[in-house]
Structure 1
Amino acid sequence: MRYRAHWTSAQILAVQSLGPDIRQIDLLPEGGPERFTAGAHLDFRVFVAGKPEVRSYSLVGRHDPRLPYRVAVKAAPSSRGGSSYMWSLEPGHRIQISQPQNNFPLTFGRPEYLLLAGGIGITPIYGMALELLARGAEVQLHYGAASRAQMAYADDLQVRLGDRVRLYDASEGDMVDLNALIGSVTPGVQLYVCGPMPMLNAAKQIWHAHRMPEPDLRFETFGASGRFAPQGFQVYLPHLNRTVDVGEHQSMLDALTDAGVEVLYDCRKGECGLCAVDVVACDGALDHRDLFFSEEQKAVNDRMCACVSRVVNGGISIDVGYRGEPPVPGRT
């Protein structure tokens, strides 16, 4: 893994509804909260179908040693099951969490910043907006969701940012024009994006089409969204002559490793590509949920990231590539 998680027990202090399907959770770890920077997240040990899993949720707001950690979780029926567990938490419950980690940090010193959030993707972007405001930076925020009721923290952002925030209510037909937005970006401006996978993929495509510097596009995903609702499916491994069942709320990677199949992996978020497997055959539809492969590579459907991507309406045959360590002569 990229870092070694140090797990500690945290107590749930408060739970608050921010809309019809968003729940804010305040929690206090033993020993108090550690310092974190805008864009950071916590890993949580959750239980999905009775089995322990790890899920990541962005920390909301700026660090304040007087305040507990805060996350906001969207109830997502098409997710991998972590949100259901998080929604079951009530004040007084305890949960295991990691220390804060930041794979989505701000780079300071730019002439201007453009922030783009879709739905619950506002959670890291909200803290970034507050941090940039505190530093006196030039910042613009564009925030879209399926409805105004699903725009967590929108009222506070409007008060703080004024006309520097633009809200897009899809239920009113108001959508972000990504091509126009990215086309207006001037050299030196960084774009930070967090939201549903289709929005992230579109932003990447348009950014590259406008020949913008690749390092100036920053994004994060926790691999929870795809084109289809998750289904259970079967994975056949011809070189092992084995079939592995993948549950509806289980990743292919977890199913394979639980079955003793060796698979290389690292991030578990569809970003690093280390867990990519070769697709030998597929009689269903591949739901690519990663940010590692390009849209052109995904269209070929010959490789997929086992940690987040799935199959619907069928099964798949794969080759994991990894064969383990070669046997040592004279050792059984």
Structure 2
Amino acid sequence: MAVQARTRRQRARVVEVADAAEGVRRIVLEPEHPEHAAPGTHIDVETGNGVGRVRSYSVVRSEDGGRRLTLSVQLSPTSRGGSAAMHRLRVGDELSVTGPLQNFPLAVGAARYVLVAGGIGVTALVAMASALRRRGADYELVLAGRSRAVMAYLDDLAAEHGDRVRIHVDDEGTPLAVDDLVAGIARSSASAATELYMCGPIGLMDAVSQSWAEHGLPAANLRFETFGSSGRHPAEEFLVRLPQLGREITVAPDTSILDALDAAGVETLSDCRKGECGLCLAKVVGATGTVDHRDVFLSESQKERSSSLCLCVSRAAAADGGPAGPAVLSLHLT
């Protein structure tokens, strides 16, 4: 019954809205069925005026037993869907949401914790840092971003955690040196018992994962939460062909293959919608342009072969000097 309570749809009323940073909106909800949200949890929110567009947002703060849940949403420059709808919210508006869902739990008992946030990824780690401070744990909070103006909760976190915060800002000439960070963990006396939790752009997470493996640190001690909007190429329109169904479907810059297929009435299997679980994996039978893998399910060698992709986050980009028009992916749905 507890699982049903967390996943059932309920109404949530917007009680506060404010800017958390440039392009980042802080939204406080009062859910119909309050439930405390543990660190690392998220809620699924239906946006798009009831057309079934669902987005997952980390719970930044859970207050008064879950009666007030704080989310923060970064506006995508190409959004006409999820983030744009969330930024239009005003006090008194209502949303259809789930209860707190946990895919990124904070473990108990590690000798040391390192939390790494890239940009809006900080939203998944705010509550974790607070929990570690209350426990009296040994922890470090690493915040990285393009500029201070776009880094949400920067001042609040610095005030709460003091010298445990490390701030890296690209336009100030202090970008995060991933290998230096991981090498420092590897050299420490508690290296085998240090857990690293990270959330942010896929490029940052790939770099941390690669360095972690190269330094021989335990794979089980690296934990992550992903944002499917991260990618190596700007989002652009492309075509998906389904030879088995004789269908061709356009995927707009602000939607995913999975959502485009759903909207076209093509049934698919999915779960996390963040490129983590692999349930929506499809076979690539042909492609013009470049497959932009944005998942953390496939290995680097699998991504290089591009024989399959995750429908929920992967995209296609037209190759430089290639044929005119949008990229085309031919897929076989399993």
Fold conserved (TM > 0.5)? yes
CA distance in 1, matches of 2:202, 2:70: 24
Deviation at 1:3, TM superposition (A): 10
Q: What letter corresponds to residue 280 of structure 2 in structure 1? A: C
Partner of 2:231: 226
CA distance in 2, matches of 1:261, 1:125: 36
Q: Does the 8 Å contact 1:62/1:131 carry over to 2?
A: no
Deviation at 1:155, TM superposition (A): 1.4
Deviation at 1:4, TM superposition (A): 7.3
Deviation at 1:114, TM superposition (A): 0.5
Residue 17 of structure 2: which of 15, 18, 43 is its match?
A: 15
**2:39 matches 1:27:** no
Q: What letter corresponds to residue 232 of structure 1 in structure 2? A: E
CA distance in 1, matches of 2:140, 2:43: 26
Partner of 2:167: 167
Q: State how 1:1-332 maps to structure 2 within 5 Å.
A: 5-31=7-33, 33-47=34-48, 51-65=51-65, 68-78=68-78, 81-185=81-185, 186-313=191-318, 314-322=326-334
Q: How many residues align?
A: 320
TM-score (norm 2): 0.90
TM-score (norm 1): 0.90
Deviation at 1:73, TM superposition (A): 0.8
Deviation at 1:220, TM superposition (A): 0.5
Question: Which structure 1 segments of 5+ residues have no match?
Answer: 323-332
CA distance in 2, matches of 1:213, 1:54: 34
Q: Compare 235-244 and 281-290 and name the one that shifted more.
A: 235-244
Q: Does the 8 Å contact 1:78/1:225 carry over to 2?
A: no
User: In the superposition, relative to structure 1, how do residues 251 and 21 fare at CA in structure 2: closer, same or farther (>3 Å)?
Assistant: same
C-alpha distance after superposition, 1:41-91 (max 9, x if no partner): 11100018x832000111113543285110111112246831111000011
Greater than 4 Å deviation, 4+ residue runs: 1-4
CA distance in 1, matches of 2:317, 2:76: 18
User: In the superposition, relative to structure 1, how do residues 72 and 184 fare at CA in structure 2: closer, same or farther (>3 Å)?
Assistant: same
User: In the superposition, relative to structure 1, how do residues 317 and 267 fare at CA in structure 2: closer, same or farther (>3 Å)?
Assistant: same
User: In the superposition, relative to structure 1, how do residues 311 and 78 fare at CA in structure 2: closer, same or farther (>3 Å)?
Assistant: same
Q: Does the 8 Å contact 1:9/1:94 carry over to 2?
A: yes
Deviation at 1:250, TM superposition (A): 2.0
User: In the superposition, relative to structure 1, how do residues 61 and 317 fare at CA in structure 2: closer, same or farther (>3 Å)?
Assistant: closer
Q: Does the 8 Å contact 1:56/1:222 carry over to 2?
A: no
After superposition, the CA RMSD in angstroms is 2.1
CA distance in 1, matches of 2:277, 2:160: 36
Q: Does the 8 Å contact 1:116/1:143 carry over to 2?
A: yes
Deviation at 1:123, TM superposition (A): 0.8
Question: Which structure 2 segments of 5+ residues have no match?
Answer: 186-190, 319-325
CA distance in 2, matches of 1:309, 1:55: 16
CA distance in 2, matches of 1:205, 1:169: 22
CA distance in 2, matches of 1:135, 1:4: 26
Report % sequence identity.
42
Q: Does the 8 Å contact 1:140/1:164 carry over to 2?
A: yes
Query: Which structure has greater helix proportion?
Result: 2
